[in-house]
Amino acid sequence: MSYAPSEMERNSRLLCQIVKVLLTISVIAVLAACGSTPDQEVATSTPAATGTPTLAPSPTERSPTLAPTLSPAVTPTTTPSGVTPTTTPLSTFAPTRTVQGSPAIGSEILFLRDNTLVAYNLDNGQERSIAPQVRMFAAAPDGRRLALIREIEQAVDIWLVERDGSDLRPITNNANIEGELSWAPDGQAIAYTETEAARQYDLDWESWSRWCSTSAVQLHDLTSQTTITLGQGCNPAFAPDGRRIAFATAPEAADDAMPSAANAIHLVNRQGENGWDFAEASPDSEDSDSGLIVYAPAWSPDSAQLAYQRFIGYRALVDINLTEMGDSYVGDGQLLGAGAGWLHPPIFSPDGNRMALIENNFSDARGFGGYETWQAQVLRLNEAGEVFLPDGTRQTSATQVDRLFRATAAAWSPDSNALVVALPSGWSADTPTTEPIYTNIGPSEIWRWTPGQAPSERLAVGIDFASPLAWLPPL
């Protein structure tokens, strides 16, 4: 009778030991599946022979570069049971991560240096190259894409590129020469000039007339990849509302002599239809101010007004040009200002209250060249003023705010408060304007200019002579 109790006792002790081992294994398995680290007592009390899963390292054993720098925006994924959890270092995400409130690309000035399109960051003064072999450029209205005229092995075509320099690709590929880019406001089409001429015009009337008379204005739809011809001529300009396109029609007669035939500023819709002449020039007109050529149309930001240049001829040893502006649905251009030589397209401030004009007096009677024949002026619109011409004083619908000699290009800030201008290397506000200091063609500098004051801050150097400029907002 003494055997049975002893046997039961032994069986009970053995059962208790088995239960303890099973419980220990179960606890460890649960902790490992939850990704938690058991304390040292539990981890060391379990024999290796029980098959316990390998535990994750304790917090003191993890890489010190991970947990302290892990971004709250990174959401950890669930680790399956039995798999050692891993953490990807944050540095692998840094190149593509955008911090909230900090734009990927800041406010920038675009210009050409050695025919490379360069962006200068106004926030930190850093520069970056966007694309090489560029002759001219135009930014899409939202500033995210750029259209370029590139010359590669004597082929001149239109290319597109993202603002950050990625996705550089051609959209034309032919034997013609493209130029004068103008974006549709929706960014889905580009108007441009195309010609078979061997090169584009110089800044004089004979060259311009020959070039424009052999050119056509094209409209390329980026969605359908189709192109239509809007008409013979040049200088296309898309209205900011996207409804119409203005361009200068081809002179009816152009040869090596001064052009002596009429042309017009012509308006069409995006299908090239419903065209009409907004302004005309005719040497046969009884109006002496009708002139020989109208050219370089530019729209006001609200599309309500259209400005342009009118070449009225060579008078008193000067090529006289008139800047005019009229209601975009009526015409009847009113005089804004006047200049000598060649006037570039008017540059409206984004708020539409002022206008910048760039003048190159290639027929300067003093015989000067280089920067000495260039200047910029700023007009305040919708304000009565006057200009002085060889045949007398004319009343204008604008007044001159300021004039800056030797400036070859200008671009307004997005808030309309200032401009950037291109001035000769070594320029100083104290340099006399009556002395020929910068008669050679050489590199430029970019300066910030608030009209009414002297340029106050030099931003960049080594700019191509007469390079176009653009001031783009941050992205």
Instruction: Summarize pLDDT for 144-187 with one digit per residue, the tens.
Output: 999 999 999 889 999 999 999 999 999 999 999 999 999 999 99
pTM of the model: 0.77
| Neighbour tally for 110: CB within 10 Å | 24
pLDDT at 341 exceeding the cut of 50: yes
| Residues in the chain, overall count | 475
Say which residues have a Cβ less than 8 Å from residue 208's Cβ, sequence separation at least 6.
Answer: 201, 202, 293, 295
Instruction: Write down the pLDDT at residue 36.
Output: 41
Instruction: Write down the pLDDT at residue 18.
Output: 54
Strands 134-139 and 263-269: unpaired
Instruction: Write down the pLDDT at residue 101.
Output: 41
Backbone angles phi and psi of 18, in degrees to 5 = -65, -45
pLDDT at 126 exceeding the cut of 80: yes
Please tell me whether residue 265 adopts helix, strand or coil conformation.
strand
Instruction: Write down the pLDDT at residue 363.
Output: 81
Quote the CA–CA distance of 57 and 34 in Å, as a whole number.
14
Q: Which of 79-83, 179-183, 234-238, 326-330 has the lowest mean pLDDT?
A: 79-83
Backbone angles phi and psi of 21, in degrees to 5 = -65, -45
Instruction: Write down the pLDDT at residue 103.
Output: 53
Amino acid at 409: A
Percent of the chain with pLDDT over 70: 75
Alpha carbon distances (Å) from 74 to 56, 59, 258: 20, 19, 69
When pLDDT is averaged across residues 103-124 and rounded to a whole number, the result is 94
pLDDT at 233 exceeding the cut of 90: yes
The two three-digit tokens of residue 303, written as one number: 């599309």
Q: Looking at per-residue confidence, does 185 or 61 come out higher? A: 185
| Neighbour tally for 228: CB within 10 Å | 13
Quote the CA–CA distance of 175 and 158 in Å, as a whole number.
12
Please report which confidence band the pLDDT of residue 423 belongs to, taking 50, 70 and 90 as the band edges.
Answer: very high
Instruction: Write down the pLDDT at residue 444.
Output: 98
**Domains assigned to the chain:** 1-59 (no CATH), 131-406 (2.120.10.30)
The two three-digit tokens of residue 447, written as one number: 């300066």
Q: Which strands form 108-113's sheet, in the order they lie side by side?
A: 127-131, 116-121, 108-113, 470-472
Quote the CA–CA distance of 236 and 254 in Å, as a whole number.
20
Please report which confidence band the pLDDT of residue 31 belongs to, taking 50, 70 and 90 as the band edges.
Answer: very low
Token look-up 């220990």 returns 24
Quote the CA–CA distance of 23 and 19 in Å, as a whole number.
6
Token look-up 């008409």 returns 231
* Among the listed residues 283, 186, 198, the one whose alpha carbon sits nearest the alpha carbon of residue 242: 186
Instruction: Write down the pLDDT at residue 260.
Output: 58
Please report which confidence band the pLDDT of residue 203 belongs to, taking 50, 70 and 90 as the band edges.
Answer: confident
Check: CB of residue 433 under 8 Å from CB of residue 69: no
Please report which confidence band the pLDDT of residue 337 belongs to, taking 50, 70 and 90 as the band edges.
Answer: very high
Token look-up 């002599």 returns 257
Instruction: Write down the pLDDT at residue 94.
Output: 30
Instruction: Write down the pLDDT at residue 314.
Output: 83
Quote the CA–CA distance of 170 and 190 in Å, as a whole number.
13
The pLDDT mean for the chain works out to 81
Please report which confidence band the pLDDT of residue 56 belongs to, taking 50, 70 and 90 as the band edges.
Answer: very low
Please report which confidence band the pLDDT of residue 24 belongs to, taking 50, 70 and 90 as the band edges.
Answer: low
pLDDT at 373 exceeding the cut of 90: yes
Please report which confidence band the pLDDT of residue 402 belongs to, taking 50, 70 and 90 as the band edges.
Answer: very high
Instruction: Write down the pLDDT at residue 26.
Output: 53
